[in-house]
């Protein structure tokens, strides 16, 4: 049996706290069939699901598909609330960014106007928005290059190569630090190497993770905790990087969390994490992980947890790979021709 260890972060110190989220009791609410379901984003009303060449809006209250539109090469998705714009990145050979107004898709499914910009010759690997008033840029990752595109004009305003020359695997906005979290992956000899970088407000790479990690899953930034979460795609460890506040001095600290399912004591710590999402309001993480004894598990993890082993509530969602929060529900998407999205209460 694993030991529960619960902490909270106060003034940069780890202090004992209650073992949240003890009250979490997740259940599957419904499943919506969307073949090849992938990344998801909530626009405040609808959950949008990207599935290769299609975007689909789902009503969280009913589970009904409200609208869909074909937009070629949709592999990553982000939502800009001030303008109501869905941003999409994809491409099988050349990278392309598409923008479309979410409400126009709802009002005119299949006919909403789409603006696009094509660039680069590498496969797309991630998309993030700099949503600060001074930024208003789209950051698109492909190969070892981050391309920064102005939201309004769709003009490329900068292109940044990774310091290690390795391909970018993902990117997250870290708004409370006024920068971007980026991970890269490559090989040195026969060893897979995963690096974590922070691209700061001054336009320079200001931090490199000194901690060893292998292949990282998609991750998420938690603003209130000032922390970045990533899962290990290999052995299923969950990493938590806690940063000092903007303008404060201090070291970045990495915590390693080992998860087991409180509702299934036989669920071994085996299998890689494929998706992490953060709900800052409830201080919860949503983690999808592959395991041996069940097809897939989706875990509900307290963002307050410190290093150590933790029993966490979970639910089985066959095929689950990516996760999201929205509309008062937790979500997991499952790829493949028989795939879809699963909504969970918690």
Q: Is residue 17 part of a domain?
A: no
Closest among 296, 304, 295, 229 to 17, alpha carbons compared: 304
Q: Which residues of 167-188 are buried (b: 16+ CB within 10 A; e: fewer)?
A: bbbbbbbbbbbbbbbbbbbbee
Q: Is residue 9 part of a domain?
A: no
Q: What is the CATH number of the domain that holds 230?
A: 2.130.10.10
Q: Is residue 167 part of a domain?
A: yes
Residues near 111 by beta carbon (within 8 Å), at least 6 away in sequence: 69
Q: Is residue 242 part of a domain?
A: yes
Taking the C-alpha atoms of residue 237 and residue 154, their distance in angstroms, rounded to an integer, is 38
Q: Is residue 5 part of a domain?
A: no
Q: Is residue 96 part of a domain?
A: yes
DSSP letters spanning 40-61? EEE-SS-EEEEEEEEEEEE-TT
- Per residue of the chain (346 residues), give pLDDT as tens: 333 334 333 333 333 344 455 589 999 999 999 999 999 999 999 999 999 899 999 999 999 999 999 998 889 999 999 999 999 999 877 789 999 999 999 999 999 999 999 987 788 999 999 987 778 999 999 999 999 999 999 999 999 999 999 999 999 999 999 999 999 998 776 667 789 999 988 789 999 999 888 889 999 999 999 999 999 887 789 999 999 988 888 999 999 999 888 877 655 556 789 999 999 999 999 999 987 766 788 999 999 999 999 999 999 999 999 999 999 999 999 999 999 999 999 9
* Domain that residue 288 falls in: 22-345
Tally of domains within the chain: 1
């Amino acid at each position: 049996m694993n030991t529960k260890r619960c902490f909270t972060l106060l003034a940069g110190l780890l202090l004992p706290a209650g073992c949240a989220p003890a009250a979490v009791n997740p259940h599957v609410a419904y499943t919506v069939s969307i073949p090849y379901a992938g990344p998801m984003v909530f626009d405040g009303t609808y959950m949008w699901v990207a599935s290769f060449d299609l975007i689909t809006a789902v009503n969280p209250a009913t589970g009904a598909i409200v609208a869909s539109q074909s937009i070629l090469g949709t592999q990553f998705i982000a939502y800009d609330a001030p303008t109501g714009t869905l941003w999409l990145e994809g491409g099988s050979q050349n990278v392309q960014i598409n923008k479309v107004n979410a409400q126009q898709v709802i009002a005119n499914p299949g006919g909403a106007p789409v603006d696009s910009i094509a660039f680069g010759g590498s496969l797309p690997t991630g998309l993030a928005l700099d949503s600060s008033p001074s930024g208003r840029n789209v950051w698109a990752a492909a190969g070892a290059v981050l391309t920064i595109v102005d939201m309004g004009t769709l003009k490329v305003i900068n292109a940044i190569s990774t310091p290690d020359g390795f391909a970018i695997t993902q990117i997250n906005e870290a708004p409370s630090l006024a920068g971007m979290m980026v991970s890269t992956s490559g090989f040195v000899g026969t060893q897979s190497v995963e690096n974590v970088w922070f691209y700061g407000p001054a336009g320079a790479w200001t931090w490199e993770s000194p901690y060893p990690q292998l292949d990282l899953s998609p991750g998420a930034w938690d603003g209130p905790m000032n922390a970045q979460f990533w899962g290990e795609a290999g052995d299923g460890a969950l990493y938590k990087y806690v940063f000092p506040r903007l303008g404060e001095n201090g070291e970045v600290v990495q915590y390693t969390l080992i998860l087991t399912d409180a509702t299934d004591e036989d669920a071994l710590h085996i299998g890689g994490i494929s998706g992490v999402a953060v709900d800052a309001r409830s201080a919860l993480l949503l983690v999808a992980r592959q395991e041996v004894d069940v097809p897939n598990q989706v875990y509900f993890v307290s963002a307050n947890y410190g290093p150590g082993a933790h029993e966490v509530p979970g639910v089985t969602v066959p095929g689950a790979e990516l996760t999201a929060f929205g509309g008062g529900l937790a979500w997991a998407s499952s790829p493949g021709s028989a795939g879809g999205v699963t909504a969970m209460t918690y």
